[in-house]
Every structure is written in C-alpha cells, then in structure tokens.
Amino acid sequence: MRLLRFLRSSVTIGKDIDFYSRFSPSPLSMKQFLDFGSENACEKTSFAFLRQELPVRLANIMKEINLLPDNLLGTPSVRLVQSWYMQSFQDILEFKDRNADDEKVTYDFTDAVIRIRNRHNDVIPTMAQGVVEYKETYGTDPVVSQNVQYFLDRFYMSRISIRMLLNQHTLLFGGKVKVNPAHPNQIGSIDPHCRVSEVIKDAFENARNLCDRYYMNSPELILEEFNAKDEGKPVAVVYVPSHLYHMVFELFKNAMRATMELHGDAMEYPPVHAQVALGSEDLTVKVSDRGGGVPLRKIDRLFTYTYSTAPRPSIDGSRAAPLAGYGYGLPISRLYARYFQGDLKLYSLEGYGTDAVIYIRALSTESIERLPVYNKSAWKHYKTIHEADDWCVPSKEPKDMTTFRSF
C-alpha cells in the first residue's frame, strides 16, 4: 500500500514538474528587489510571488538535470542533489492553494523557505563530488565534458537566483528583528549604497590571513579609486555585498598564491594592485598581480569546472567537501558577476602577471537577473552530436614534404 502511494506521488510530482517547466522564470532587476524590500515590504506579496516563481525556477533546472548522462545521474552525490530539489519542490507546492491572508500560512511558508535554504547549503560541493565520482569511474570525452560545463553553468546560476529569492524573503520576514543590527542599511541581502572599497579591503584581509597561515608571509595591497560620476566621493553602487566579496576574495587568493609561489623566499613581494572605477554604465574592479601570468592556451581552462591547479581536497564524510581544489572558484565567481548582467574576465601576460577584471552594472535598473530557461534550444544542446572542428588543427610534428600529395 505504501509503495502504491509512493508511485502515485512520483507520477503526480512528475506531472507538476512538467507543468511548471513550461513557464519561463521571471527575472527581477536590482531596483525591483529594492522597491519591494523597502518601506512597502509585504510578507503576503512575497508569499504570493514566491509560491508561483520558486516552482518555475526549480522545475526548469530539474528538467535539465534529467538530460545529463545516465551514469552521471546514477552517482550517489547527484542522486542526493536531485532528492533535495524534489523535496523542496514538493514543500513549495504544499502552499499552492493556501490562503495568503492567514498569518499562520505565511508564518509556515517562511519556515519552509528557511528549511529549503538550509537543505541546499551544500549543493555546490555535492554536485562537484558527483562529477568527480563520474570521471573516476567512467572517464570523460569531449562531448560529455562540454555538456557538463554547459549544464553546471546553468545549474549553479539557477541556484544563485533561487538562493537570492530565499535570502530576501528570510532576511525581510524571517526574524523578530526587522532591521539586521550587523547591516542596518541593507535591504535583505542588498546594500543600496555598497561601498566597494570597504568590501575589497575586507576580502583582502581575509585572503591575506589565509596566505600568512600557508606561506608565513603575504603581499601588500595598493588600492585606487576613480569615481567619474561623483569625483572625490567614495565609489558606491546598489549591489549584493556578499556576491562582490565572493568574487574579489577568490581573485585575491589566486593573486597571492601566484605571487608567493613565483617569488619563493624573497624578502619582499610585489604588491597586489586593485583599482575601482565607476562610470556612467559600469563599475569595474581590476585586480592585478606579478605572479608570472598564465599562457593563453590555459586561460579558458581556468573557467572549466574540475580544472584546478591546487591539490584535490579529501572528502570527509562528517562535513561538507571544501571548494578549494575542485576548480570551482573562478567559474562560480564569474556566475556571480554575470547574474546581474556583469562579467568577469582574465587578461594574462605570461612571464609577468595577470589582470582579473570584474564588470558590474552601475545602474540598478539595468542589473537584471540572468536566468536559465528550459526550452527546445537548451534540450538541443544536450542532444546535438558535436561534429569535427571546421578549422585546421595544427600538427606539432613537422610535415614531411616528400610525401605531400600533388594534384
């Protein structure tokens, strides 16, 4: 009897996922997040929006998970991630027809949102472990690697967006205190006047502490600001400080590691330079190091999941797998930049150093969520057979002209 109920439930959930995946997610701008979270913040409105939007975002990415190779879907870690998404999807659907005017319903919904957020805390390292399990058992080929790269970019971007919605709701309505004493000026996770240099200094100090512990020394920071919009005033934008922190912390870690390993036992190390520039359209942050740079052929690899120059971390079953060594730092940082229509790019001078540049939209009306959509184009990407390259592939061996065919 229990098995029959489970089978019926699975069929129903499958139909619900099919139904909600037919809708495209509704991207919000930073300004919309701000307007909603200001004085007019209404838990009832948030409840009404999230109970419709969360199932759409979850269903869209759940349909894409099913397009992965069967052997990857069969790994214990990927199955665990799927079960988390399935449970969260069901948890939200329980509120589909509930009365938004009932305070207990909105209270229970906020509790459910907090549970979902906590359930998904370890999604990134768990999915990373699933890819490692797959590669170790079955190896990889270029087509699978390309599809996995395409999927993970979309999967993690979807996760960032879902987490943004969950965090906004819980920070605005999840506690007894309406203003966060640690960040009194923030609206949820958004700071309407995010002081960019303050976030950069904070990220640098924390990266420096890690560097000091590992190398017993660290380079200095030289920070410059250029405010073309309001000369003489500190650069401030509407942004999510935790996203900016994540990006610059990753860039500082990489810059420090490269600098320390190139210059070895030197008494003094070349400083890391950070420049912040605010124009009419873009906020740009550039982090420059003298760590020897990277050859051109390796630049793209640095944004490939599972590519890392650090040793792979050992898995401790008692706690979540660490990100260091999985090669997820730069690709995830680029997703944070792209989430609100920005970007992250690397420019390297091999033998000298690397410039890493973060681009962020200066206007909150143009900082709009970038969201993956499950549709025919996405489906085709997984099903298309990638044919041979239509450009000549240069040979490393010298051509034997005596065997060259004449026409």
pLDDT tens, position by position, 158-175: 999 999 999 999 999 886
Structure token digits, residue 281: 């359209």
Dihedrals φ, ψ of 272, to 5°? -90, 130
Given a cut of 70, whether residue 308 has pLDDT beyond it is: no
pLDDT in tens, 332-362: 999 999 999 999 999 999 999 999 999 999 9
| Mean model confidence pLDDT for the chain | 88
Q: Which residue has the tokens 């401030």?
A: 236
H helix or E strand, kind and range, residue 358: strand 353-361
Pairwise CA distance, residues 295 & 347, whole Å: 10
pLDDT in tens, 130-150: 999 999 999 888 888 899 999
Structure token digits, residue 235: 């650069």
For residue 98, how many C-alpha atoms fall within 13 Å in the half-sphere facing its CB?
Answer: 21
Catalytic residues: 246, 250, 253-254
CB 272 within 8 A of CB 259: yes
224 DSSP assignment: E
User: What confidence category does residue 322 fall into, taking pLDDT thresholds of 50, 70 and 90?
Assistant: very low
Structure token digits, residue 258: 């490269």
Percent of the chain at pLDDT exceeding 70:
86
Given a cut of 70, whether residue 271 has pLDDT beyond it is: yes
- In sequence order, which residues have a C-beta less than 8 Å from that of residue 62 and are 6 or more positions away? 17, 21, 82, 85, 86, 89
The residue ranges of DSSP E strands in 149-303, in sequence order, are: 191-195, 221-227, 236-239, 272-278, 282-288
Is this structure's pTM higher than 0.75?
A: yes
